[in-house]
Amino acid sequence: MTISAERPTETAAGTTAPTGPRGVSWTNRPGWMSQHLGTALVLAFLGYLLGHWWGNHIAGNYAYINGASGQNSVADFLALLLMVVGWLVGIGALNYPIAKLFGREAVEEEPAKGLSRYFRYTLDHKVVGMQYVVGVLLFMFTGGLLAMAIRTELLNPTVHIFNPGTYIEIVSEHGTIMMMMATSIIVGPLGNYLVPLMIGSRRMAFPRIEAFSFWIFSAGYMVIFSALFFGGFPTGWTGYAPLQNQAGPGMISYLFGFAVIGMGMIAAGFNIAVTIVNYRAPGMTWSRVPMFVWSILATASLLTLATPVLFSAGLFGILDHVVLTSLYVNEHGGSSYLWENLFWFFGHPEVYIMALPGFGIVAEIVPVFTRKPLFAYKVAAAGMMGVALLSFFVWQHHLFQSGINPDMRPLFMLTTELISIPTGFIYLVGMGSLYKSKMRLEIPMLFSLALYFNFLIGGITGVFLSDVPVNVTVHGSFFVLSHFHYTIMGGLLFAFMAGLYYWLPKMTGYMMNKKLGLWHFWTMFIFFNLTFFPMFIIGLLGQPRRVFEYAHNLQGLNDFSSISAFCLGASFLLFFWNLMYSMIINPQKAPANPWDSLGLEWQTANPVPLYNFERIPVIVTEPYRYSEPGAPAYADFGGGGSGSGSSSSVSSSVEE
């Protein structure tokens, strides 16, 4: 596709806006329907009540009655469905298609300004990115509180705070919220905000789809969280049948929540992939694409191809509960193995949906703070795409103990070990970039180094788990739990924090407090390792996960992990305090380019103009040329400056 560097056109509001093929501004939004968070909450509540009434009316005489809710399954499902529809209608996500359905034209409307824009359905990718930042932090805080409840229960093997049913509900809700939040923790906030800036684009390919992905993601969180009010679900975050078929109404919240969030993930992945492929600035060949963009492209491919399988799996489970099909019921001709295969066909690529963007973040940060080019750029890009491809061939290593044809075990053991090769490429590129460098140990760099440390432990233990004999021995134990947290939390979450400390000055215009940031880093890094490393030992000594009673000789290790977990939780309170202190109490204006980066996202004015660039830049060289004296600038803005890293490299700005 040919990229045209069109000039902006003047709008009635006096701002500049690129025009679409019909001459209608992409900021157009129908003005005939309300778009407001309060309206969304009211319509979601009314939709929930209507769904319950409707379900009881049409199916009250013959549908299965759930004891926990006193409602039939049809009513439970319709209540959640109409709640989501009401939420989307209230926020304005359906305004455009409804207007087109009734033959109405979109009405030009001045983009919202100030804080109100963050509570509305907006087509500005930067606002959507900030909405995702707040959303995922809120979801992470909720999941973290549930984790604190788990570790409190495990302080004593026999004296219990929760009964067995409540405990498994908390464990299941914690895992589900964290996993669904983690799939969007980087792609949502940083992917939406930064990808257009990093590829020299004024916008996402489909702004309405981008905004839709956030608001339906939020709806999915509400659906999953609602399970707590219906007795939860006893399956853990994996939702295995036949437990799934025996569960109460909370299981419908789980299944429908996965389906709703899956819709948002598909929309986000498709939109980002199309944007990267078609909206790159002139001169940005594939060998000049920033590594973070490569990682987001690989992740978007996984979101687009793997998530429909999860969506289908959730739909099948809903049919089993609501209309009493037997797709997952062995006794009636279905198969519980069907759920396991569908779930993990998505579930293992999901691990890399979470891991790859983390490596993309540190690949952007390390060259900046070492002042060296990224080592083996093409190897890293190949590793990203290689991981994405191979991730579809390893899912059955989760089923080594399921009883499925044992002759398949060697194949999936081989593919699981093979995926460590492209993963190793990405890791070694980071090590090569650090080799003989003089690092500036700023907070983003510290979090990046912590990722390499944590992921090394997670990766080594993962090699053990890929081998059938070890996997069978430690399956379902705290060893697997610890490996998983080292790989995902130790990698993804530390990378996310590195990205926030690195890019928040650009996203907000304010610097994070360095002293508070150092306290946050060291407490988070130390207590993360003190929390999860003992779990390897606990698992090898035989303690199963998702069980709240354990051998008395393991109490000391469990108490140590629990106390460390409380301190780890406190480290996140330091981060939230740093956000409040740096953005509200004592804000310090950030320089235009505080890290002296050559990245294209730092070449725009600060704050970022509404349409990012007055002139589309032309990319003239490879990225990361930090150690080459006299090297040309990464981008040419056509008379707007050299693109050397200061805000003066943009000829003019449009105030947002």
Average pLDDT over residues 416-426: 91
Q: With contact defined as beta carbons under 8 Å apart, do 551 and 543 qualify? A: yes
Q: With contact defined as beta carbons under 8 Å apart, do 245 and 320 qualify? A: yes
- The per-residue pLDDT for range 231-270, each reduced to its tens digit, is 888 898 999 988 888 888 889 999 999 999 999 999 999 9
The angle subtended at Cα 185 by Cα 182 and Cα 189, nearest 5°, is 165
Beta bridge partners of 477: 544
Q: What is the distance between the alpha carbons of residues 398 and 418, in angstroms, rounded to a whole number? A: 16
Q: What is the distance between the alpha carbons of residues 226 and 260, in angstroms, rounded to a whole number? A: 13
Tokens of 644: 């050397």
Instruction: Report phi then psi at 644, rounded to 5.
Output: -85, -5
Instruction: Give me the CATH number covering residue 402.
Output: 1.20.210.10
Q: How many CB atoms lie within 10 A of CB 49?
A: 13
| CA dihedral of residues 594, 597, 603, 606 (deg, nearest 10) | -20
- Of 330-339, 407-416, 553-562, 628-637, minimum mean pLDDT range: 628-637
Stronger pLDDT, 613 or 116, i.e. the higher one: 613
pLDDT bucket at 16, cuts 50 / 70 / 90: very low
Tokens of 581: 């202190």
Q: How many CB atoms lie within 10 A of CB 67?
A: 9
- The per-residue pLDDT for range 268-297, each reduced to its tens digit, is 999 999 999 999 999 899 999 999 999 999
Q: What is the distance between the alpha carbons of residues 389 and 54, in angstroms, rounded to a whole number? A: 45
Q: With contact defined as beta carbons under 8 Å apart, do 455 and 487 qualify? A: yes
Instruction: Report phi then psi at 435, rounded to 5.
Output: -60, 125
Is residue 57 domain-resident?
yes
Q: What is the distance between the alpha carbons of residues 354 and 361, in angstroms, rounded to a whole number? A: 12
Residue 323 predicted with pLDDT over 90 = no
Is residue 310 domain-resident?
yes
Tokens of 574: 């330091």
Q: In three state form, how does the secondary structure of 323-373 look?
A: CCCCCCCHHHCCCHHHHHHHHHHHHHHHHHHHHHHHHHHHHHHHHHHHCCC
Is residue 229 domain-resident?
yes
| Residue with the two structure tokens 């809903």 | 318
Q: How many CB atoms lie within 10 A of CB 1?
A: 8
Is residue 361 domain-resident?
yes
Tokens of 1: 């596709």
Q: What is the distance between the alpha carbons of residues 380 and 433, in angstroms, rounded to a whole number? A: 11
For residue 310, the enclosing domain spans 37-99+111-585
**Number of domains making up the chain:** 1
Q: With contact defined as beta carbons under 8 Å apart, do 199 and 284 qualify? A: yes
pLDDT bucket at 62, cuts 50 / 70 / 90: low
Query: Identity (one letter) of the amino acid at 473?
Result: T
Q: What is the distance between the alpha carbons of residues 303 and 268, in angstroms, rounded to a whole number? A: 8
DSSP designation for 585: I
Q: Write down the pLDDT at residue 647.
A: 35
Average pLDDT over residues 561-583: 94
Is residue 296 domain-resident?
yes
Q: With contact defined as beta carbons under 8 Å apart, do 39 and 317 qualify? A: no
Query: Identity (one letter) of the amino acid at 43?
Result: L
First-to-last C-alpha distance (Å) of the chain: 29
Stretch (H or E) spanning 56: helix 37-59
Q: Write down the pLDDT at residue 631.
A: 67
Q: Write down the pLDDT at residue 41.
A: 92
**Alpha helix stretches (DSSP H) within 371-436:** 377-390, 409-418, 420-434
Query: Identity (one letter) of the amino acid at 321?
Result: H
Nearest CA among 252, 250, 266, 369 for reference residue 309? 266
Question: What percentage of the chain carries pLDDT values higher than 90?
Answer: 54
Query: Identity (one letter) of the amino acid at 34?
Result: S
Is residue 599 domain-resident?
no
Is residue 19 domain-resident?
no
Q: Which residues, 6+ apart, have CB-to-CB distance to 190 below 8 Å?
A: 129, 292, 357, 361, 496, 499, 503
Question: What percentage of the chain carries pLDDT values higher than 70?
Answer: 88
Q: With contact defined as beta carbons under 8 Å apart, do 353 and 299 qualify? A: yes
Q: What is the distance between the alpha carbons of residues 506 and 602, in angstroms, rounded to a whole number? A: 7
The angle subtended at Cα 374 by Cα 370 and Cα 375, nearest 5°, is 110
| Residue with the two structure tokens 């940005």 | 284
Stretch (H or E) spanning 636: strand 635-636
Instruction: Report phi then psi at 533, rounded to 5.
Output: -65, -40
For the question of whether the overall pTM of this predicted structure is more than 0.75, the answer is yes
Stronger pLDDT, 9 or 626, i.e. the higher one: 626
Residue 452 predicted with pLDDT over 90 = yes
Is residue 22 domain-resident?
no
- Of 103-117, 120-134, 507-521, 617-631, minimum mean pLDDT range: 103-117
Average pLDDT, the chain: 85
Average pLDDT over residues 338-365: 91
- The per-residue pLDDT for range 158-170, each reduced to its tens digit, is 888 999 889 999 9
Where in 151-296 does DSSP place strands (E)? none
